[in-house]
Amino acid sequence: MTESNAFSIIALSKEKPDLLPDLFKEKKNRVELVFVRAGYLIRVCNFNEIRINRNDIHLSLSATPSAIGEMSPDIEGYYCRFDSSFYPKENLGCELEIISSFLYRYPLCLNKNVFQRLSADFDAIFRLYNEREVDYPLIQAYLLACIYEIRKLMRESSLDFYPAKAFSITKQYNDLLNIHIEKKQSIAFYAGELKITPNHLNKSVKSVTGKTAIQLLTEARLAEAQSRLKHTEAMVGEIAYRLGFEDLSYFSRLFKKTVGITPAEFRKRNQRLSC
């Protein structure tokens, strides 16, 4: 993958919501950073609605469902994403996993000094990215500075690490969900793969995410359903059946309760948007 495909950044603006990407199409080891300098936006991440206000930053990994919702008229800031191939340091992947887990439900509020430094860093990254000859190594340096600023602030804010074992189990569980979600919908299977009991798996996941292992499993199934509704022509019933929902009416009710509209409405709306 070329550097131009592995990294991108746009300035947030109420007039340009169409430039924000759809990450349901492909599951890659991709990172999203949202930095808000003015106004606010609503981000749907892991089926949680996260309000990102002025002086906030939010980071997530794109193996989870994510979308940008409402944005205030005065929105200012940056949306940045990059793939694992763009990581400037070998150990950055671990740092990003830790940050993402802490920001699972909430953004990080930046103090005045960190906000000013990150604001300057993002301005520089955006300027470099839009030059005729893009200096990707310099962008990587600024990006690395941003990541470590976030980690430093987390430590100073007494956001201690989750228990190492629980964090590791949760990460492995999410990785397994991405691999096996079509064929395996049993918590017992995933617990067996991790060589722990279902109860141990559930307690570990709950301590890190605030959700049960079943909730994450259900969210993964519904995220995969959304992807297939948008990017395949398979019938709704077939999609439901392949994801372990034998009762189509139950699948439709659960989908509407979680996503807000029925599977058929979701497909119709996204077909209209893609025209």
User: Is residue 177 domain-shared with residue 237, that is, in the same domain?
Assistant: yes
H or E segment at 59?
Answer: strand 56-61
Contacts 24+ apart (CB under 8 A), 35-38: 35/77, 35/78, 35/80, 35/118, 35/119, 35/122, 36/12, 36/75, 36/76, 36/77, 37/76, 37/77, 37/78, 37/119, 38/74, 38/75, 38/76, 38/77
CATH number at residue 49: 2.60.120.280
CATH number at residue 183: 1.10.10.60
Q: What is the pLDDT of residue 69?
A: 76
pLDDT tens for the 275 residues of the chain, in order: 456 678 999 999 865 544 455 444 444 567 889 999 999 998 877 667 788 999 999 988 765 566 777 888 899 999 998 887 787 666 677 778 778 777 777 788 899 999 999 999 999 999 999 999 999 999 999 999 999 899 888 877 755 555 667 877 887 888 898 889 888 889 999 999 999 999 999 988 887 777 899 998 998 899 889 889 988 999 999 999 999 998 999 999 999 988 889 999 999 887 755 54
Contact at 8 Å (CB) between 93 and 84?
yes
Count structural domains, the chain: 2
Q: What is the pLDDT of residue 197?
A: 93
37, two tokens: 């300098």
Domain around 198: 164-274
Q: What is the pLDDT of residue 25?
A: 42
Domain termination site, one of 156, 191, 223: 156
Q: What is the pLDDT of residue 189?
A: 95
User: Is residue 148 domain-shared with residue 169, that is, in the same domain?
Assistant: no
